[in-house]
Structure 1
Amino acid sequence: MKSKLFVMLLFALPFLSIAQDRVVRKGMVVSDATGVEDALVVNYTAQLETRTDFAGNFSIKAQTGDLLIISDYKIEEKRIRFTPDIVNDGLAIINVRMAVTELEEIIVYKNNNLTSEALGLVPKGQRRYTPAERRLKTASDMTPTFFVGTMAGIAVPTDPIINAITGRTKMLRKELQVEKKERVLEALSGMYTEEEIAAEFAIPEPYTDGFLYFIADEPGFTNKFIKNNAGLVKVEMTRLAAEYLQRIKNEE
């Protein structure tokens, strides 16, 4: 009988010592230096569990060698052995990675009817101004404002008058022309390659960029281009190509 009791005590001794060594440990679950809230922390070895607070802090009984499992829907599961190496100033720091949800496929359907007019954001048919056009319109608009009631009368904006005197309106008109030129250059560069310009308009390839700047400087061409008249644009480019070639010849 005594021998059996001795064997049982001998068998239970390691477990008793382990249980005595396991103490409450404080830790923190972080991702990119930010605490992870409400993550499940499990001491798999001791079959204990807890959750992190709003700052990622937790407390759980553990000892060296215990397997800790940290999991949550928003992070990748982390398995780590509790060792002195992960303890910093009495706090076990456990770094985890945020979970990434990979979508199999995203299909984007083009809806040509989905416009600011269709959504009711702007009145139908209202002209859309570029930034330079809006600035010029604001600076030069002399439209009077009519008042009724006790303060009846007509108010004429003074800004356009001041702008005309100071020359600001002239400057804004120049900005508008520069904007139109840039829009034309950008559009033409997307419509024609250097090879296509050389083939269709007989412009030598070293001069194709210069040709685009030459035609963009022509107000008549710019206005036709802005109005999106494709037929007139092609005719005008052909005419201007002849002028440009003559200019190259004269310079040589």
Structure 2
Amino acid sequence: MRQLLLAILCFPLFLQGQDQKVLIDGKILNTSPDLEGIHVLNITALTGTITKKDGSFQIFGKLGDTLVISSVQYETHRIPLNEEIIRKKSLEVLLYAKVNKLDEVVVKPHNLSGNLSRDLGNVETEGKVVRPSRLGLPNIYVKPKTQTERRLYEAKSGGGILPLNPIINAISGRTKRLKQQLAIERKEKELTKTKEEFNPTIYSEYLKIPEDRLDDFIYFCAVDDTFVILQQRDDSILMLEYLRKKSEEYRQINKLD
């Protein structure tokens, strides 16, 4: 009877211990020198961090939580927090490198394909290949302009004593339209960079954004001034925390929960 009473009294304390969060010291065991910046997410508690240069990290978690370790160069790894991990408050992880599948290669005793025009282009010529850098030509390292940038430059410049192109284009509104188009293209490039910064698993499991809604979600975030500021700061942790908060707002508006 006494043992039963003791068990009843201790049971709430046991449950409380199960729900208590602990700080877990983690370590990525891979020998690769590129261990910094790997995302470690608690998709149950919706918290996250990134690894240091030596692959170490710290994150809070409790029994039953699930960690997702994700990066560009490694396969996504899911770890349920069991009693042993919670008791030791430590975690060691070995990640598997992503393997890129290559196209099939046919080995031949020669480099000829049977297509005359193609084979002529593959025939080696005597002497060194003449490159602009070897000739000492100026402006060889200048980044080429995009089509829109070239059109805008042409619209704003012209020849002669009194260039007419800038005047005509300003009156017709062509220069303004080209500026708007260039701004849109640069914005698209920035949004694509942010989208590709994080693994798809982060969007689907951590932020709970469906794959077919991902582009719409990124545009939803981009209209906020904070998004632009975080892009300029180039801080993935702050950006991820911002995306997490915006994802809650986005799911509520679109009734995705």
Q: One fold, TM greater than 0.5?
A: no
Greater RCO between the two (CA within 8 Å, min separation 6)? 2
Q: Which has the larger radius of gyration?
A: 1
